[in-house]
Amino acid sequence: MLHSPGMRLVRGITAVVTLLLVPLLVMTTSPAAVADPAWAPAGAATIHPGVQTFSLPPGGNQCTANFIFADGTEVYIGQAAHCSGTGGNTATDGCTSPSLPLGSQVKVEGASRPGVMVYNSWLTMQALNETDSDTCRFNDLALVRVDPADVARVNPSIPFWGGPMGLNSAGTTLGQFVYSYGNSELRLGISQLSPKKGISLGDAGSGWSHNVSTVTPGVPGDSGSCFLDTAGNALGVVSTLNVGLPGGVFNGIGDLSRELAYMHAHTSLTGVHLVLGDVPFNGNRLPVG
């Protein structure tokens, strides 16, 4: 049987690995529809999917950013909601687990200034008294607002793979290829180990989650990192490390389309959208992992 909901993949900045969860709410006004900013060239950008994020103050959790989001006024980088969790490795229910509050600072690798957490699905669900068990277990998304001084450093493309080309809203089927880019401290900065190609083991949690298997699974510190589907569309966010059938050791991936729909339905961030990559997706490359 699946180890459910699985272990979270947060890595503490200290030597102790912690596997936590996190919630977040949205408290900004809906902006007028204007064009997104011009992005830095992919080869020169220092802020992009796959950079490390660190909850502040020091001693917090290290995670991996997933995608870039924007609303025409602000630019956001995504991480898992549980990356700001404060309840320890047994706090695995987003509807009950404690988290740092909105407004908390997050260090974003490549940025000159900390970002600010403006949305956390856990905090939102708790404020709404959410009771659906699948939603509580798998809705695991947070947004960190990039400081305006750093927006010119941002590119939305996934390193190595390119994309995202769109947003997956149909899930996956057994055996389909999936693609990821993790950046755990446990890899000691060896970037060749970051890109991963694997297969889908099918959907779970009434479509809220996708089970995926890669040659080596996502490890603590990869939490929050992106997964793309076989066409390079944004599929989801690394949430848990599971042990059991199917697949032995595998990751649970929160469904991004559902997570964004929940945010849009229950907060004022209705204009926030996934930013597509400006580097074409190439799933034929051969990663180490």
Whole-number pLDDT of residue 249: 79
DSSP string, the chain: ---SS-EE--EESSSS------------PPPP--PPPPPPPTTT-SB-TT-EEEETTTT-EEEE---EEE-SS-EEEEE-GGGGB-S-TT---TTT--BPPTT-EEEETT-SS-EEEEEEHHHHHHHHT---HHHHHH---EEEEPPGGGGGGB--SPTTT----SB--S---TT-EEEEE---GGGTT-GGGSEEEEEEEEEEGGGTEEEEEESS---TT-TT-EEE-TTS-EEEEEEEEEEETTTEEEEEEEEHHHHHHHHHHHSS-TT-EEPPPSS---TTS----
Whole-number pLDDT of residue 164: 98
Q: What is the mean pLDDT of each run of 10 residues along the chain (289 residues)?
A: 46 35 35 76 98 84 95 97 86 92 97 98 98 97 98 98 98 96 69 86 95 76 92 95 69 96 98 98 87
Whole-number pLDDT of residue 68: 98
For residue 159, give the nearest of 48, 44, 283, 253 by alpha carbon: 48
Whole-number pLDDT of residue 35: 86
Whole-number pLDDT of residue 24: 33
